[in-house]
Amino acid sequence: MSNGFVLVLLRELREGLQKFRQDSTERMDGSNERLEQAIGSLARIENDLNELRKYMRQIALNQAKHEEFQSTNVENLDKELRDIKEQLRRLKPMR
């Protein structure tokens, strides 16, 4: 009788361990799937951020060119205005 009890106990233990292993494997598979999804999402985010960085860099370069162009135009206009004022100053005494 004692041997029968031990055999039943060992069988239940074995079945319990098999079920635990199966459940653990299923949970691990689910975790791995979620990790793969997270990795895919992070890769897409990284790619999007890289594209955004390129776009923002191009905007900054365009802005710098625009500012330089505008600055040059303002300097040219200032020079022309000074020249016109100088010409007017010379013309006034002649009147």
One digit per residue, the tens of pLDDT, for the chain of length 95 reads 588 888 999 999 999 999 999 999 999 999 999 999 999 999 999 999 999 999 999 999 999 999 999 999 999 999 999 999 999 988 887 65
Rounded CA-CA distance 88/95 in Å is: 11
How many Å is the maximal CA-CA distance in the chain? 138
Rounded CA-CA distance 5/16 in Å is: 16
Q: Which domain holds residue 59?
A: 2-94
Overall number of domains in the chain: 1
Query: What pLDDT is recorded for position 25?
Result: 95
Query: What pLDDT is recorded for position 95?
Result: 56
**Tokens 């060119």 identify what position?**
65
What the block records as the tokens of 70 is 């505008």
> What's the distance, Cα to Cα, between the start and end of the chain in Å?
138
Rounded CA-CA distance 33/55 in Å is: 33
- pTM, two decimals, is 0.58
